[in-house]
Structure 1
Amino acid sequence: MVKRKTILFVSEALLLKELLLDQLQKQGEYLLEESLSVTEAISLIVKEHFDCILIDSSLADVSLSNLCKNIRQEGVRSPIILVAEELGEDVAIAALDAGANDYVLKPFKINVLVAKIRSNIRQFEQSEFAILRFGRFSFKPGDKILLNNSSKEEVRLTDKETAIIKLLYLSGGEVVTRATLLEEVWGYNTTLTTHTLETHIYRIRQKVGNASSGQDFIATESEGYRMQF
């Protein structure tokens, strides 16, 4: 199963939400969750993980910079995109300084917003600050840590183990061939065999087992491996 990205849209504009939902459903890559107020949005952000947060500047009595700052203070690192009727230079700079990643001005084409969502998520997932979530795990490639959210146990990973998990994650549940894993993780090396890769996969599974996960998130396929979300 391919993992779909979850988007939180904080807005009172129901028509815009419906248009965005329709476009995202056509893409088949995203799930959209809505929030009609800042209070509700913060509550959701604390409880759930979102791959991207969209904030409509038309929310009543809301300081965009304060809202972005509050979201970042909750430890959320996912990209924040502002949707605005107009955005003065001072307001835009303040919001970006407070933690927003990007913005789009109305009127705009929905596919342009979707492209910005995709681009910002991709950049975030490739960054050293990324926290990637799947199953019961939070994966911090920059720190080489896999956290079991249920038991709160941390698994320390090697560079190669980290690279393997990240590549499988970014493939979104699609099979990654053994040849691709060997080339991407180890680089071109004619002396390496698939046994090297299999040994590293085995060690990852052993570490996950030691973390009392009760779940193997790496599935073995005939051509290679894929992540089970």
Structure 2
Amino acid sequence: MSSQPTTILIVDDEPQIRKFLRISLAAQGYTVLEGANGEHGLAQAALGKPDLVVLDLGLPDMDGQQVLRELRAWSSVPVLVLSVRASEGEKVLALDGGANDYVTKPFGIQEFLARVRVLLRQSLVAEQLESSRSIGPLTVDFAYRRVLLDGAEVALTRKEYAVLEQLARHAGRVVTQQQLLKDIWGPTHTEDTHYLRVVVGHLRQKLADDPASPRFIVTEAGVGYRLKGA
């Protein structure tokens, strides 16, 4: 997250709220994505790989609590609920459902921005402190740049390790092909998807991972890849 612009996704059906938040967040240097309903918001969360999601609960196509549940099924991205619903029950339901913070409308923009900064800071610290990630018999050791499968070290090339590390750091979340290519091969290679397919193919062979019934690396067709959650 530290090497890329910080991206915030706003999921809210009110255009004026989205515009207000977009201007306020952009003024702080954030990249802003928008979703006008739950379905669009979930798609943006998968494709845009945001560092934070601002989620309204009163969406036209599905309740925001449902959006939160679906998002948490595959993503650990921090979520700040921003809603007119002020009851304790709604707040508890959202927080128990995986929201990281809850702000009621109407709200003060300075407090909102402060809460955004806190969540982003907490997320960055947690990412930096994490020294390894294990998914069943697979362990990716970030500190020593080693990969273990059933306790035995797996020899990977630099590119293979870089792809696996990216997927492991975002385990359970979709990482887009374009993001992997940009981060690992560079910004001029975002369309060179064949490079990525070759590396992922080699990774699967070395990890004895059947793409038809994957234990580890799941292909999200047309989008990217996801390492199964821990």
Identify the TM-score tier after normalising by the shorter chain. Answer: 0.5 to 0.7
Any conservation in 1 of the 2:54–2:80 contact (CA below 8 Å)?
yes
Runs of 4+ in 1 over 6 A off after TM superposition: none
> SS in structure 1 opposite 2:110?
helix
Identical amino acids, percent of aligned pairs: 22
Q: CA RMSD in A?
A: 3.2
CA distance in 2, matches of 1:212, 1:5: 21
Q: What does residue 119 of structure 1 align with?
A: 118
Q: What does residue 18 of structure 1 align with?
A: 19
- Considering only CA atoms, is the larger Rg found in Structure 1 or Structure 2? 1
Q: What does residue 227 of structure 1 align with?
A: none
* Residue segments in structure 1 that go unaligned for 5+ positions in a row: 133-139, 146-153, 163-205, 218-229
Any conservation in 2 of the 1:11–1:35 contact (CA below 8 Å)?
yes
Q: What does residue 157 of structure 1 align with?
A: 141
1:82 aligns with 2:87: no
Any conservation in 2 of the 1:65–1:96 contact (CA below 8 Å)?
no
Task: Quote how far apart the aligned CAs of 1:63 are.
Answer: 2.8
Q: 1:157 to 1:9 in 2, by over 3 A?
A: same
Q: Which amino acid aligns with 2:40?
A: E
Task: Give runs of aligned pairs for residues 37-186 of structure 1, distance below 5 A.
Answer: 37-60=37-60, 62-73=62-73, 75-127=74-126, 130=127, 141-144=130-133, 156-157=140-141, 159=143
Give the paired residue count: 154
Q: What does residue 36 of structure 2 align with?
A: 36
Q: What does residue 5 of structure 1 align with?
A: 6
> SS in structure 1 opposite 2:80?
strand
CA distance in 2, matches of 1:42, 1:58: 15
CA distance in 1, matches of 2:131, 2:33: 28
Q: 1:208 to 1:157 in 2, by over 3 A?
A: farther
CA distance in 1, matches of 2:159, 2:123: 29
CA distance in 2, matches of 1:155, 1:80: 27
Q: What does residue 208 of structure 1 align with?
A: 158
* Residue segments in structure 2 that go unaligned for 5+ positions in a row: 147-155, 164-180, 187-230
Task: Quote how far apart the aligned CAs of 1:85 are.
Answer: 1.5
CA distance in 2, matches of 1:158, 1:71: 26
Any conservation in 2 of the 1:155–1:208 contact (CA below 8 Å)?
no
Any conservation in 2 of the 1:96–1:102 contact (CA below 8 Å)?
yes
